[in-house]
């Protein structure tokens, strides 16, 4: 009888432990054109896992898949994670096209997704997601202030020929034209392109006061290289999507002096002690170095880390048994109602129906000086 009771108790403990596992599917781009962003995301996930991974008595477990920067592969990854791995939530991906492809599968299956790329999902279809990176309008408004101060009257745009390129261009036009700054060019290129010379020649012909780039990661350096080759001496601005070590390495001297908005984590040590994000950002850097045996040097790893910080906070508040449809709903409801969660890029607060949870605390302006990002007061 004692053996039976002990065996029964052991079975209960095993069952309880299994139920307490919240399965997290991670989709990122470890290969392909977006790998210069996807690899840092994976390093951010590793940094998080080097710290606390149990919340409210529930342990987070992770399954990671490389989508190879391919939207079709991202959709297949989401399908596998949901149907075979039975995940409770998906986090990813690194590029806008892959993210939208994965989210289409997640939304259909009613699995919450924490989006780590800037991807706009409109209408009720977006009810199962939140987006971690700062929205384009919030960040471009910081660029606009710099343009006004510099006396810019005309600006030319060059960006990707995909959803991210469209988001940036639309945000640029809506921000600058009411301020009396005219957009004089709209040139595009593919992430896999190796040259943008024809596009830059068209831009140079308009003689703009400034050029605004809408790229990301290492492919985002191409316009800057081409502008430098043509001797362009005007102002150059971009978005938070180029705060990346590969961008700086490939761009070299061609990207010196450029200005961009970013999250506070990039210049954490330059922040005043009164900034609520400083301590969280410095903690992330410690964990990053433990997990990856190198120092953090871009913004993207921190986006991945922040996604899991928000998830951990939601897991503490979500009731129910992981692995069930009811728990997925409860977890979604907890995620979209996150309030004042302090992380590395922002103090995040979400509301149902709102995709972004950041405010002006989530941005600073930086200038690239001698290969390092410096805070612009």
Write the pLDDT tens digit of every residue in 55-65. 999 999 999 99
- Comparing 13 with 89, the larger pLDDT belongs to 89
Residue 12 pLDDT greater than 70, yes or no: no
C-alpha to C-alpha distances, 327 to 103, 132, 174, 314, nearest whole angstrom: 19, 22, 40, 12
Distance CA 296, CA 277 (A): 16
Same domain, 149 and 235: yes
Share of the chain above pLDDT 70, in %: 95
Same domain, 129 and 145: no
Whether 373 is covered by a domain: the verdict is no
Whole-model pTM: value is 0.89
- Tell me the per-residue pLDDT of 21-66, one tens digit each, with 9 for 90 and over: 999 999 999 999 999 999 999 999 999 999 999 999 999 999 999 9
CB 264 within 8 A of CB 139: no
Same domain, 162 and 101: no
Same domain, 127 and 155: no
Same domain, 83 and 107: yes
Same domain, 190 and 124: no
Here the CATH number for the domain that contains residue 168 is 3.40.50.2300
Any alpha helices (H) in the chain, and if so which ranges? 2-19, 35-49, 71-83, 96-109, 136-150, 163-176, 197-205, 222-229, 245-251, 276-292, 300-317, 325-335
Same domain, 126 and 167: no
Same domain, 310 and 247: no
- Tell me the per-residue pLDDT of 128-169, one tens digit each, with 9 for 90 and over: 999 999 999 999 999 999 999 999 999 999 999 998 999 999
**What's the number of domains the chain is made of?**
2
| Span 199-226, average pLDDT | 96
- Tell me the per-residue pLDDT of 168-203, one tens digit each, with 9 for 90 and over: 999 999 999 999 999 999 999 999 999 999 999 999
Give pLDDT, residue 14. 43
Domain span including residue 76: 14-134+281-361
Give pLDDT, residue 16. 46
Give pLDDT, residue 1. 41
Give pLDDT, residue 126. 83
């Amino acid at each position: 009888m004692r053996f039976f009771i002990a065996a029964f108790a052991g079975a209960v403990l095993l069952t309880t432990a299994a139920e307490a596992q919240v399965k997290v599917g991670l989709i990122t781009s470890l290969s392909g054109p977006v790998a210069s962003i996807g690899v840092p995301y994976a390093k951010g996930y590793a940094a998080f896992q080097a710290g606390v991974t149990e919340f409210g008595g529930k342990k987070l477990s992770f399954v990671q898949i490389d989508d190879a920067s391919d939207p079709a592969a991202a959709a297949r990854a989401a399908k596998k994670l949901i149907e075979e791995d039975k995940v409770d939530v998906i986090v990813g991906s690194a590029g806008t096209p892959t993210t939208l492809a994965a989210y289409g599968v997640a939304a259909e299956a009613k699995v919450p997704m924490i989006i780590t790329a800037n991807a706009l999902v409109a209408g009720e279809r977006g009810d199962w997601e939140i987006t971690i990176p700062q929205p384009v309008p919030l960040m471009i408004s910081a660029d606009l202030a710099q343009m006004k101060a510099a006396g810019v009257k005309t600006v030319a745009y060059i960006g990707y020929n995909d959803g991210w390129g469209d988001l940036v261009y639309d945000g640029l036009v809506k921000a600058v034209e009411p301020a009396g700054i005219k957009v004089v060019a709209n040139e595009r290129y593919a992430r896999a392109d190796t040259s943008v010379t024809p596009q830059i020649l068209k831009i140079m012909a308009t003689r703009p006061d400034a050029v605004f780039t809408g790229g990301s990661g290492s492919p985002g350096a191409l316009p800057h290289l081409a502008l430098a080759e043509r001797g362009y001496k005007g102002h150059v601005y971009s978005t938070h999507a180029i705060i990346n070590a590969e961008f700086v390495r490939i761009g070299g001297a061609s990207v010196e002096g450029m200005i961009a908005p970013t999250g506070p984590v990039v210049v954490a040590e330059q922040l005043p002690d009164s900034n609520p994000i400083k301590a969280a950002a410095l903690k992330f850097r410690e964990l990053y170095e433990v997990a990856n045996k190198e120092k953090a040097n871009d913004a993207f790893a921190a986006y991945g880390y922040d996604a899991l910080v928000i998830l951990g906070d939601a897991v503490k508040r979500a009731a129910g048994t992981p692995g069930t449809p009811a728990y997925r709903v409860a977890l979604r409801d907890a995620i979209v109602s996150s309030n004042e969660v302090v992380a590395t890029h922002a103090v995040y607060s979400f509301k149902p129906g709102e995709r972004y949870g950041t405010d002006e605390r989530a941005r600073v302006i930086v200038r690239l000086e001698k290969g390092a990002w410096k805070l612009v007061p």
